[in-house]
Structure 1
């Protein structure tokens, strides 16, 4: 699979792997009906591989246990054009503690402040930028070590340490590598995903949340997961719920580009996906249980 991702068209096609799994029984059935046994065997192996890769994302296995709870939400604002009142209502209704925003503009900054976001989440690390390049983290808890990663192609990733009471040190990042709307963006897409920090048993607990412009079928994202992350939606059995596109972009099947990736030390209690009026993405909410110090 990594070899497929050297060119733009195969990278885009990989995003639709769940649809291939959905239609994979058809070649098996046709081959069996026409007594093409070798073809049936080959199609059956392909079917088994696709199901093994895709089906576990829809099987819930939420974690138990107790500890400091962190409720997080990530939302792509579509160049700052999402409905600020709807987003703030979602934050309020779900008692969100940490909010990651992508495509965060100066206009969105003003609208969200006017809608009362700062009253709910008073701490922030924000880099508003035009043309969808901005990023922000809003938090109920104090933020420290605030930085901004500038990805190839210009998208920002706001990042900071979050001081959650009773929890181990936590580092969060609002993720937004380059999108693949044109072939010339492929190197920037690769660089943006490759630049994300690995997770491991030592150091701060890590949380990556945002619009990754990649699905779990992309080798780049799977390599990141292997460093020590889990996809929260897959743990909760919601890994096949699509998050883009929710605008009329033509006959593009919907795919899952928005994720909450949590360090393996973090337990996942629940995940849900919500519409945000004015945005072409769905927002992803996750309720997490953080490890305690030591």
Structure 2
């Protein structure tokens, strides 16, 4: 009697199936990051990718995993593609974590500025005032600035530190405020296309030249249907004007450095202060309402390239889903 077995046949087949399955899985790990990096470098985010691009730093961090997996299993082609993908992300991300060698003038008058989104005016006024005092803030920009928030800030003593203001408080998320230690000339409030107020004015610290300051708050890309309006709001933000006064835009831009419209705005002649100071990966928004979203960086201080940038820090504000950003700027002497 002859006994036959298919074990010698099926074992090689199973090994081949496992190898193919692993190869497919490996490419599924590699290719999404590769496509993401190419879209990011090309400024080609569209549709749902606009919202997802806010989380690009996390995708960049994940891109290390496919490199290790491919090289550990000697899948050289996949490893090469994964390594190139990692390098592309590094080119974009590492500068944000490293202070720039050229951060503008080092001399001049130091001006500390701060921006904070108050979440419908519910942010803790005492903490905002404490941060203003502790960080020697001379100019404060507020978004989602409500009449109630304005009253509570006054009660907390903000007016004693920053007695001058240009205010456009409103209920809901559309209000805007600008406070200053120094007199504000040409104050005003404009409403952008997305329906948010943007308070502005000209400030001249003693011994320094005048600067125009504006509390920025473009529309958020909360749905695919309004992405055109989101882009229009960012495109309508004041560009830097080398022939005019230096300008500081600070606030909740509802976009990160991985969004092309914000990069275009910065490219007109601004520096992102956090990026220049090596703090460009510090999250400023989220998790929203206690949800699981990881923090992203959508609050910015954009300083005219004629101004210098010093240290930048980010601070928790109870009652708000945003963190406040404080930046040290240097204004050339008058």
TM-score scaled by length of structure 1: 0.95
Is 1:153 matched up with 2:194?
yes
Structure 2, unaligned runs of 5 or more: 1-38
Q: Give the Cα separation in 1 of the matches to 2:190 and 2:74.
A: 57
Q: Give the Cα separation in 2 of the matches to 1:128 and 1:200.
A: 28
Instruction: Look up the SS of the partner of 1:6 in the other structure.
Output: coil
Q: Give the Cα separation in 1 of the matches to 2:137 and 2:289.
A: 30
Q: How does 1:20-31 map to 2 (within 5 A)?
A: 20-31=59-70
Displacement after TM superposition at 1:172 (Å): 0.7
TM-score scaled by length of structure 2: 0.84
Which residue of 2 is the match for residue 11 of structure 1? 50
Which residue of 2 is the match for residue 219 of structure 1? 260
Instruction: Look up the SS of the partner of 1:273 in the other structure.
Output: strand
**Which structure is higher in helix share?**
2
Aligned with 1:40 (options 67, 76, 79): 79
Structure 1, unaligned runs of 5 or more: none
Displacement after TM superposition at 1:26 (Å): 1.2
Q: How does 1:110-189 map to 2 (within 5 A)?
A: 110-189=151-230
Aligned CA-pair RMSD: 1.6
Displacement after TM superposition at 1:168 (Å): 1.9
Which residue of 1 is the match for residue 35 of structure 2? none
Q: Give the Cα separation in 2 of the matches to 1:3 and 1:90.
A: 36
Displacement after TM superposition at 1:200 (Å): 3.8
**Which protein shows a greater Rg?**
2
Q: Give the Cα separation in 1 of the matches to 2:309 and 2:121.
A: 29
Q: Give the Cα separation in 2 of the matches to 1:61 and 1:34.
A: 38
Stretch of structure 1 that moved more, 148-157 or 75-84:
148-157
Displacement after TM superposition at 1:3 (Å): 6.0
Contact 2:256 2:297 in 1 (8 A): yes
Contact 1:173 1:208 in 2 (8 A): yes
Instruction: Look up the SS of the partner of 1:56 in the other structure.
Output: helix
- Count of aligned pairs between the two proteins: 292
Displacement after TM superposition at 1:145 (Å): 1.4
Instruction: Look up the SS of the partner of 1:14 in the other structure.
Output: helix
Instruction: Look up the SS of the partner of 2:45 in the other structure.
Output: helix
Contact 2:110 2:328 in 1 (8 A): yes
Q: Deviations over 1:49-86 (max 9, x none)?
A: 10110111111247573211111010000000011111
Instruction: Look up the SS of the partner of 2:50 in the other structure.
Output: helix
Instruction: Look up the SS of the partner of 1:126 in the other structure.
Output: strand
Contact 2:112 2:327 in 1 (8 A): yes
Q: Give the Cα separation in 2 of the matches to 1:44 and 1:31.
A: 9
Contact 2:193 2:229 in 1 (8 A): yes
